[in-house]
Chain A
Amino acid sequence: MANSQPVATLYDAPMWQSLAREHMQLQSCGHCGTLRYPPGPICSACTSMDYHWTDLSGGGQILSWVRFHRAYFDDHPPPYNAVAVRLDEGPIVVSNLIGPEPEGEWIGRRVRLTYRCHLDRTQHAFMLFEQS
Chain B
Amino acid sequence: MTGSLSGVASVIGIGQSDWVGDHSRVRAGERPHDSYGYGAQAFLSALADSGIARDEIDGLIVGPTTAYERVGELLGLNVRWGGQADAMTAVMEACMAIHAGLASVVALVYGNDQRSAQVNYGGPDAQGGAAFLAYVYHAPWGFTSQGALYAMMARRYMHERGLSEAELGEVAVAQRLAASRNPRALMRKPISIEDYLASPFICEPLHLFDYCLINDGGVALIIAEAGKARSIGRAPVAIKGVGRYDLNRGATSLEPRLLDYYLPAQQAVAAQVFEMASLGPEDMDALQIYDSFSLHIPLALEGYGYCPVGGAGRFMRETGISLAKGLPVNTSGGHLSESYMQGWNHQIEAVRQVRGEAGDHQVEGCRHVHYSSDVAGKAISIIYGA
Kindly state the separation between the CA atoms of A67 and B258 in the bound complex, as whole angstroms: 16
CB distance from B194 to the nearest CB of A (A): 20
Known: A73-B123, A82-B143. A92 touches B155 (CB 8 A): no
| 16 A-B contact pairs sorted by A residue (CB < 8 Å) | A1-B123, A6-B139, A38-B133, A38-B253, A66-B155, A67-B204, A69-B203, A72-B124, A80-B142, A82-B143, A82-B152, A84-B258, A92-B253, A96-B141, A107-B156, A123-B141
- The one of B144, B159, B249 in contact with A72, judged by C-beta atoms closer than 8 angstroms, is B144
Is there an interface contact between B144 and A91, defined as CB atoms closer than 8 Å? no
Most buried by B among A38, A91, A105, A118: A38
Is there an interface contact between A4 and B253, defined as CB atoms closer than 8 Å? no
CB distance from B154 to the nearest CB of A (A): 9
**Residues in chain A near residue B159, CB distance under 8 A:** 64, 105, 107
CB distance from A109 to the nearest CB of B (A): 12
Which 7 residue pairs of A and B lie closest in terms of their CB atoms, listed nearest first? A76-B142, A64-B156, A72-B123, A94-B138, A2-B124, A82-B143, A67-B204
Give residues in B with beta carbon < 8 Å to A: 122-124, 133, 136-145, 148, 151-153, 155-156, 159, 200-205, 249-250, 252-255, 258
Kindly state the separation between the CA atoms of A94 and B136 in the bound complex, as whole angstroms: 12
Is there an interface contact between A84 and B254, defined as CB atoms closer than 8 Å? yes
Is there an interface contact between A4 and B140, defined as CB atoms closer than 8 Å? yes
Within 8 A of B (CB), among A34-74: 37-38, 44, 63-70, 72-73
Is there an interface contact between A92 and B250, defined as CB atoms closer than 8 Å? yes
B137, closest chain A residue (CB): A7
**Residues in chain A near residue B205, CB distance under 8 A:** 66
- The one of B153, B203, B250 in contact with A68, judged by C-beta atoms closer than 8 angstroms, is B203
**Residues in chain B near residue A1, CB distance under 8 A:** 123-124
Kindly state the separation between the CA atoms of A100 and B200 in the bound complex, as whole angstroms: 24
A5, closest chain B residue (CB): B139
- The one of A37, A64, A75, A82 in contact with B253, judged by C-beta atoms closer than 8 angstroms, is A37
A36, closest chain B residue (CB): B253
- The one of B140, B143, B201 in contact with A5, judged by C-beta atoms closer than 8 angstroms, is B140
Known: A67-B204, A82-B141. A93 touches B253 (CB 8 A): yes
B150, closest chain A residue (CB): A66
Kindly state the separation between the CA atoms of A78 and B155 in the bound complex, as whole angstroms: 19
Is there an interface contact between B152 and A65, defined as CB atoms closer than 8 Å? yes
Interface size on A (CB < 8 Å)?
36
**Residues in chain A near residue B122, CB distance under 8 A:** 72
Is there an interface contact between B254 and A94, defined as CB atoms closer than 8 Å? yes
Kindly state the separation between the CA atoms of A82 and B159 in the bound complex, as whole angstroms: 17
CB distance from A13 to the nearest CB of B (A): 14
**Residues in chain B near residue A64, CB distance under 8 A:** 152-153, 155-156, 159, 258
**Residues in chain B near residue A82, CB distance under 8 A:** 138, 141-143, 148, 152
Kindly state the separation between the CA atoms of A93 and B141 in the bound complex, as whole angstroms: 10
B136, closest chain A residue (CB): A7
Kindly state the separation between the CA atoms of A65 and B254 in the bound complex, as whole angstroms: 12
Is there an interface contact between A44 and B249, defined as CB atoms closer than 8 Å? yes
Kindly state the separation between the CA atoms of A84 and B254 in the bound complex, as whole angstroms: 9
Is there an interface contact between A66 and B140, defined as CB atoms closer than 8 Å? no
Kindly state the separation between the CA atoms of A5 and B142 in the bound complex, as whole angstroms: 10
**Residues in chain B near residue A66, CB distance under 8 A:** 143, 148, 151-152, 155, 203-205
**Residues in chain A near residue B258, CB distance under 8 A:** 63-64, 84, 92
Known: A95-B141, A96-B141. A84 touches B152 (CB 8 A): yes
Known: A72-B142, A92-B255, A123-B141. A67 touches B201 (CB 8 A): yes
Kindly state the separation between the CA atoms of A95 and B137 in the bound complex, as whole angstroms: 11
B129, closest chain A residue (CB): A7
CB distance from B146 to the nearest CB of A (A): 12
Is there an interface contact between A69 and B124, defined as CB atoms closer than 8 Å? no
A3 within 8 A of B: yes
**Residues in chain A near residue B202, CB distance under 8 A:** 69-70
A73-B142, A82-B152 given; 15 more Cβ-contact pairs under 8 Å = A1-B123, A1-B124, A4-B142, A6-B140, A38-B253, A44-B249, A44-B250, A64-B152, A66-B152, A66-B155, A69-B204, A72-B122, A75-B142, A82-B143, A91-B253
A119, closest chain B residue (CB): B140
**Residues in chain B near residue A69, CB distance under 8 A:** 200-204
A121, closest chain B residue (CB): B140
CB distance from B310 to the nearest CB of A (A): 16
A82, closest chain B residue (CB): B143
Is there an interface contact between A68 and B139, defined as CB atoms closer than 8 Å? no
**Residues in chain A near residue B203, CB distance under 8 A:** 66-70
